[in-house]
């Protein structure tokens, strides 16, 4: 039975008096449920995750943050799918037990999500005890009701995909999904009666047009279903697979990994757990399963049929987004184009990665990743458009109003209307999961505010006219910080801080984007550039892994003139203090005396080779005229020289004592 839990919640602000929402798979006017349960796929940790997984997880995070800001009771689930032959093999290849192997991978994944600011409410692992127990209970229940039965299985199996295939479905004898070899399986097995539910599922999909989205995926699934469904083998014999959940009533078998995996969406929120019954009633059915299109069949056929067999309502929507390609090619280990998202996050900062992924990829369609495009987005959208807006507005308020937000006494400007339109566009797009469109809407306000500075030329104005312009610009920035809060983690906070609204950042609500929230008289607090400009020639070369691989090429580097060399301001220095940077385990923040009035702050990737306490008083050589860059939110005003030795990284230092600040020549 479907629990009674949908309630109409009119939102407070006048802007949303007649909103446009997606609910229950249908677009309805003026109502939305008061809970929002969103899931990513649980990822298969036989390898490190790549930028494609990162995209899905960031997209879900944006929706989770947006819905929380709208006051909806939100639950964001992600996790790992830990059973199956590939895990067993990957662990064996490293000489580890599956559990030890998995614990290591999960720790890495959690670090990645933490670095990217992923605000999940729960991280499920399918090796969790409570998940295991409930999957067994589900299997038992369906066996007792006759929806799972025992029979003989003859057919093909693709181990990498963990998929069973009929002879007729193979493409040139290989797996139709991945093109790899399949192996013949002939064993007594347990089957799930997909065939019994096929017509009911077709009828459901037809009656609920937004259950599967985008449209093209829905049509794919319908045509697959209309070809007829065979019952699905949902067990493997223990000789073939040890690393799985045992069939509760027959210890010679383990449960098919996909059966186990899809159940995570209900085990995580307390299905069949008497102590969490109210939690399950509150969050099920899920609002959105966000998945990649390659696992559509498992989520749009097998999973709904398991739910029907359990007499549970189906999730409101399964959204199969496109693939992220690397410069047009599918991401794959064999192509060697796997981009390590943790390296990228360390290099560019999480907000830049989050912004780029969401802005660059039209939701639902395939997108191309290139590092060049990422750097371009950072320089144009973030440094130039958004960052400069903040710098210019705070500089003018500092200059003309002694750092105090002026009172808006002159006639109003058009920015109020632009801000309202930007918010409406973002809101409509977010409600329909069109994330890239939402950012595009928000950037209309960024562009209008920048243009308003040029058009109004506050430096030529005085009195009330100038006060109005500056107030409206500051208020536009405050609203931008609100609207960007689902998309970014640090930048909105920094905008609030520079506007003198540091406390507001902690409890920001979507309705705070209402015009007029900025109080005149607020003291601003100017700061560093929000997103420093990057020199593409420098950063695109600066990938540590690439540099190591390019060792051979480097020998053949171009010769330089003495002039090029002397353009570098190399100076001796002494480390005054060193400390770890939260969230960046390879980096240390150093203060280095290079003979200037104040020590230089330099971020160095030496944490694996040096502990902070060993560094005080350590002599170093500093590149003093390197353009400042922000790493993990910490500004680095130079770099220290180091070289790889047999035991790791060594700082380069003068052999004799020299005065800090001596020029290296």
Contact residues: Zn ion, CB under 5 A: 158, 161, 175, 177-178
Core vs surface per residue 56-72: b (16+ CB within 10 A) or e: bbbbbbbbbbbbbbbeb
How many other CB atoms sit within 10 Å of the CB of residue 2?
A: 11
CB of 181 to Zn ion, least distance (A): 9
Q: How far is CA 405 from CA 20, 467, 472, in A?
A: 35, 8, 10
Residue 131 phi, psi (nearest 5) = -65, -50
Token look-up 């991401």 returns 331
CB-nearer residue toward Zn ion: 178 or 343: 178
CB-nearer residue toward Zn ion: 161 or 245: 161
CB of 294 to Zn ion, least distance (A): 10
Q: What tokens does 478 get?
A: 């405050």
Q: What tokens does 83 get?
A: 């059973």
Q: Exposed/middle/buried for 657, CB within 10 Å: 0-12, 13-18, 19+?
A: exposed
By C-alpha distance, which of 246, 303, 279, 245 is closest to 41?
Answer: 303
CB-nearer residue toward Zn ion: 104 or 177: 177
Judge if the upstream peptide bond of residue 285 is cis by omega within 30 degrees of 0. Answer: yes
CB of 193 to Zn ion, least distance (A): 24
CB of 361 to Zn ion, least distance (A): 25
By C-alpha distance, which of 273, 245, 239 is closest to 126?
Answer: 245
Q: Exposed/middle/buried for 462, CB within 10 Å: 0-12, 13-18, 19+?
A: exposed
CB of 293 to Zn ion, least distance (A): 15
Q: How far is CA 63 from CA 38, 382, 412, 557, 646, in A?
A: 8, 21, 33, 47, 47
CB-nearer residue toward Zn ion: 164 or 259: 164
CB-nearer residue toward Zn ion: 183 or 251: 183
CB-nearer residue toward Zn ion: 295 or 453: 295
If you write DSSP's letter for every residue of 197-237 in order, what string do you get?
Answer: HHHHHHHHHHH-TTSEESHHHHHHHHHHHHT----EE-EEE
Q: Exposed/middle/buried for 171, CB within 10 Å: 0-12, 13-18, 19+?
A: exposed
CB of 240 to Zn ion, least distance (A): 16
Core vs surface per residue 543-567: b (16+ CB within 10 A) or e: beeeeeeeeeeeeeeeeeeeeeeee
CB of 209 to Zn ion, least distance (A): 30
CA atoms within 13 A on the CB side of 542: 15
CB-nearer residue toward Zn ion: 201 or 295: 295
H or E stretch at 110: helix 98-115
H or E stretch at 350: helix 350-360
CB of 651 to Zn ion, least distance (A): 49
CB-nearer residue toward Zn ion: 176 or 605: 176
CB-nearer residue toward Zn ion: 175 or 524: 175
CB-nearer residue toward Zn ion: 177 or 273: 177
Helix, strand counts (H, E) of the chain: 24, 27
CB-nearer residue toward Zn ion: 183 or 659: 183
Residue ranges in 284-339 assigned as alpha helix (H): 296-297, 303-309
CB-nearer residue toward Zn ion: 158 or 353: 158
Cα 630 from Cα 603, distance rounded (Å): 9
CB-nearer residue toward Zn ion: 161 or 300: 161
Q: Exposed/middle/buried for 260, CB within 10 Å: 0-12, 13-18, 19+?
A: buried
Cα 384 from Cα 377, distance rounded (Å): 10
CB-nearer residue toward Zn ion: 301 or 383: 301
How many other CB atoms sit within 10 Å of the CB of residue 616?
A: 13
Residues 6+ apart with CB under 8 A from 435: 59, 62, 63, 358, 363, 429
CB-nearer residue toward Zn ion: 162 or 511: 162
Cα 242 from Cα 87, distance rounded (Å): 11
CB of 256 to Zn ion, least distance (A): 15
Q: What is the DSSP letter of 340?
A: -
CB-nearer residue toward Zn ion: 159 or 543: 159
Q: What tokens does 549 get?
A: 């691989």
């Amino acid at each position: 039975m479907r629990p009674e839990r949908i309630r109409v919640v009119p939102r407070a602000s006048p802007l949303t008096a007649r909103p446009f929402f997606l609910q229950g798979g249908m677009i309805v006017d003026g109502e939305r449920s008061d809970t929002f349960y969103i899931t990513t796929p649980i990822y298969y940790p036989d390898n490190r995750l790549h930028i494609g997984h990162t995209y899905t997880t960031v997209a879900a995070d944006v929706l989770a943050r947006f819905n929380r800001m709208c006051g909806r009771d939100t639950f964001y689930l992600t996790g790992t799918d830990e059973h199956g032959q590939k895990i067993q093999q990957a662990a064996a290849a490293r000489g580890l037990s599956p559990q030890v192997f998995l614990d290591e991978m999960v720790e890495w994944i959690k670090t990645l999500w933490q670095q990217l600011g992923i605000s999940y409410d729960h991280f499920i692992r399918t090796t969790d005890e409570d998940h295991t127990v409930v999957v067994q209970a589900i299997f038992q229940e369906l066996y007792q009701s006759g929806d799972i039965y025992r029979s003989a299985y003859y057919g093909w199996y693709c181990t990498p995909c963990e998929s069973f295939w009929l002879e007729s479905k193979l493409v040139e004898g290989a797996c139709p999904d991945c093109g790899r070899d399949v192996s013949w399986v002939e064993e007594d097995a347990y089957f799930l009666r997909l065939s019994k539910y096929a017509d009911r599922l077709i009828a459901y999909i037809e009656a609920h047009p937004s259950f599967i989205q985008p449209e093209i995926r829905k049509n794919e699934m319908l045509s697959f279903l209309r070809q007829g469904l065979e019952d699905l083998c949902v067990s493997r014999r223990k000789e073939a697979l040890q690393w799985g959940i045992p069939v509760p009533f027959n210890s010679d078998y383990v449960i098919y990994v996909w059966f186990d995996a899809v159940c995570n969406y209900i085990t995580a929120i307390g299905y069949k757990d008497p102590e969490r019954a109210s939690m399950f009633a509150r969050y099920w059915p899920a609002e959105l399963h966000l998945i990649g299109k390659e696992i559509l069949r498992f989520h749009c056929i097998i999973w709904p049929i398991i739910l029907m067999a359990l007499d549970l309502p189906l999730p409101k929507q399964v959204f199969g987004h496109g693939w992220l390609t690397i410069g047009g090619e599918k991401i794959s280990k064999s192509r060697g184009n796997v981009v390590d998202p943790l390296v990228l996050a360390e290099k560019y900062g999480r907000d830049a990665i989050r912004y780029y992924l969401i802005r660059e990829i039209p939701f639902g369609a395939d997108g191309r990743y290139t590092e060049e495009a990422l750097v371009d987005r950072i320089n144009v959208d973030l440094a130039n458009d958004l960052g400069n807006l903040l710098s210019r507005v705070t500089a003018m308020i500092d200059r003309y109003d002694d750092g105090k937000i002026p009172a808006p006494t002159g006639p109003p400007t058009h920015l109020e209307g632009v801000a309202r339109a930007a918010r409406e566009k973002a809101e409509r797009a977010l409600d329909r999961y069109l994330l890239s469109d939402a950012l595009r809407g928000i950037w209309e306000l960024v562009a209008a505010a920048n243009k308003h500075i040029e058009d109004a030329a506050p430096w030529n104005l005085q009195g009330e006219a100038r006060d109005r312009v500056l107030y409206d610009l500051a208020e536009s920035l405050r609203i931008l910080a609100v609207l960007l809060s689902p998309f970014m983690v640090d930048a909105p906070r920094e905008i609030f801080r520079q506007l003198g609204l540091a406390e507001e950042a902690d409890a920001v609500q979507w309705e705070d984007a209402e015009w007029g929230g900025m109080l005149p008289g607020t003291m601003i607090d100017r700061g560093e550039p929000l997103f420093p400009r990057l020199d593409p020639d420098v950063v695109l070369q600066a990938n540590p892994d690439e540099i190591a691989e390019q060792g051979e090429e480097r020998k053949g580097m171009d010769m330089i003139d003495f002039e090029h060399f002397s353009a570098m301001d190399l100076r001796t220095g002494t480390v005054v203090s060193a400390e770890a940077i939260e969230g960046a385990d390879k980096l240390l923040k150093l203060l280095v005396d290079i003979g200037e009035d104040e020590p230089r702050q330099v971020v160095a990737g030496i944490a694996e080779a040096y502990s902070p306490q060993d560094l005080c008083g350590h002599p170093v050589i500093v590149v003093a005229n390197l353009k400042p860059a922000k790493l993990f939110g910490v500004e680095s005003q130079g770099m220290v020289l180091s070289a790889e030795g047999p035991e790791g990284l060594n700082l380069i230092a003068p052999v004799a004592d020299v005065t800090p600040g001596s020029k290296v020549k």
